[in-house]
Amino acid sequence: MSEIKFDQSLKQLEKLVEEMEEEEMPLEKSLRKYEEGIGLARSCLEKLNQAEKRIEILKKPAGASPETRPLEVDLGPDNEEMDREETLRE
pLDDT tens figures, 20-78: 999 899 999 999 999 999 999 999 999 999 999 888 888 877 777 666 666 555 555 55
CA angle at residue 7 from 57 to 2, to 5 degrees?
Answer: 85
CATH level 3 topology of 6-65: Helix Hairpins (1.10.287)
pLDDT at residue 75, rounded to an integer: 59
DSSP 64: P
Beta strands per DSSP E along 11-66: none
Distance, CA of 22 to CA of 15 (rounded, Å): 11
Q: How does residue 86 score in pLDDT terms, banded at 50, 70 and 90?
A: very low
pLDDT for the residue numbered 12: 95
Report how far apart, in Å, the C-alpha atoms of 62 and of each of 26, 50, 65, 66, 86 are: 57, 21, 9, 11, 19
